[in-house]
Homo-oligomer: A and B are copies of this chain.
Amino acid sequence: MTRAVVLGAGMVGSTIAADLAAEPGWQVTVADARGAALARLSGVQTVRADLGDADRVRALAGEFDIALGALPSRLGLQTLGAVIDAGTSYVDISFMNDDPLPLSARAAARGVTAVVDCGVAPGLSNMLCGQAVTRLRPCTRLDIYVGGLPKQRAWPFEYKAGFAPWDVIEEYVRPARYVVGGKLVVREALSEPELIELPRAGTVEAFNTDGLRSLIHTLSVPDMREKTLRYPGHIELMRVFRETGLFSLEPIRVGDQTVRPRDVTAALLFPKWTYADGEADLTVMRVEARGALAGAPTLLRWDLYDEYDPASNARSMSRTTAFPATAVARMIARGEFPLAPGVYAPETPAQSPGFVERVLADLAARGVHVTAASEAA
């Protein structure tokens, strides 16, 4: 019997819980402060707990064999520390802003295996990059394109937010860090838009965002970029909003008050960017790796296209984020994780033989299909 606790009963947390609860031999508990979110769950046990309290998280995690984190990013680092201190293995999709890898020694000392950034991108994208560097000798370039989109496009934004809309705006203003010619370079967010054609999704627009995260430090590939995907035109509007100052956090005077423009923009935009219940989304991701395969210049390409699942009422963004995490959690629980205890970004275990294949098989079993291609480049 594997006893798992899922921290957070949001969209991804509940999809993680449902997936693990369907696994023979697993007993799943979901913890959240929000009773209403817990009440919507079935087939799992629930615990009402303030997960912003690290002591509470440590005590809770200590009762379980493995924990899965699906909390807001601002809680990511403290939760990782608390779960490590509890001596419980951990798979996390909080996408914390802080660097989690310095906690690796502490995890190793406690015999804890923790994998962070373990969603779709970051997550599956990292794993594919990790595999690429083992197949291409050398791997000279990695490109990641990823986006979550509404299936039905509606003027003017043709966009809804599959995760916290505030984080979307943050993504639209934070400078993007890339590796070009072996050097770290910084590009303006939303810059260098390009139209690309993807299977089923059609023409989408890719633009610079700060998404490489751990890959910048863990892989020594001289060229690495990540771009976010939207329907064409969205990004020009976001550039206009940013230029106008609507995303600014600098307070301005309005009459006898002082307000941050982004707060006002968020109050207006977020209701329009929120998926209706049952509204279909889709996830598109392309990872390209260039380099030499047995001496021949080669391009490896992976394409993912996934849609909302009406049967489980799970949005594609929840599915594609949850299933890489549950795949890794199953490996850890079965003692099949390939590395010694420590904190890892997904690209590191993905360099072990068979790791990516097992994750992709688990995704495929859940209807999330990744096609792979290889061509002379």
Contact A263 B267 (CB under 8 A): no
Contact A254 B267 (CB under 8 A): yes
Q: How far is A236 from B248 in the complex, measured between Cα atoms in Å?
A: 22
Kindly specify which of A3-11, A43-51, A237-245 makes contact with the partner chain.
Answer: A237-245
Question: Which residues in A have some Cβ–Cβ distance to B below 8 Å?
Answer: 155-156, 236-237, 239-240, 243-246, 248, 252-255, 257, 259, 261, 263-265, 267-269, 272
Contact A255 B246 (CB under 8 A): no
Point out the residues of chain B lying under 8 angstroms from A155, CB to CB.
243
Contact A259 B268 (CB under 8 A): no
A312 to chain B, nearest CB (A): 33
Point out the residues of chain B lying under 8 angstroms from A240, CB to CB.
156, 237, 240
Q: How far is A337 from B267 in the complex, measured between Cα atoms in Å?
A: 56
Point out the residues of chain B lying under 8 angstroms from A269, CB to CB.
244
Q: How far is A101 from B31 in the complex, measured between Cα atoms in Å?
A: 71
A-B contacts besides A246-B265, A259-B259, 6 pairs, CB < 8 Å: A156-B239, A156-B243, A244-B265, A244-B269, A254-B259, A261-B264
Q: How far is A237 from B272 in the complex, measured between Cα atoms in Å?
A: 17
Point out the residues of chain B lying under 8 angstroms from A254, CB to CB.
259, 263-264, 267
Q: How far is A257 from B263 in the complex, measured between Cα atoms in Å?
A: 11
Q: Which 8 residue pairs across A and B have the least CB separation, nearest first?
A: A245-B268, A156-B240, A264-B264, A254-B263, A252-B267, A254-B264, A244-B268, A254-B267
Q: How far is A267 from B253 in the complex, measured between Cα atoms in Å?
A: 8
Point out the residues of chain B lying under 8 angstroms from A267, CB to CB.
252-254
Contact B237 A252 (CB under 8 A): no
Contact A263 B255 (CB under 8 A): yes
Q: How far is A345 from B239 in the complex, measured between Cα atoms in Å?
A: 44
Point out the residues of chain B lying under 8 angstroms from A248, CB to CB.
268
Point out the residues of chain B lying under 8 angstroms from A245, CB to CB.
268
Q: How far is A245 from B248 in the complex, measured between Cα atoms in Å?
A: 17
Known: A267-B252, A268-B246. A259 touches B261 (CB 8 A): no
Q: How far is A240 from B269 in the complex, measured between Cα atoms in Å?
A: 11
Known: A246-B246, A257-B257. A268 touches B252 (CB 8 A): yes
Q: How far is A239 from B267 in the complex, measured between Cα atoms in Å?
A: 18
A270 to chain B, nearest CB (A): 11
Could you pull out 9 A-B pairs where Cβ atoms are within 8 angstroms? A156-B239, A156-B240, A156-B244, A245-B268, A246-B246, A248-B268, A257-B259, A259-B259, A264-B264
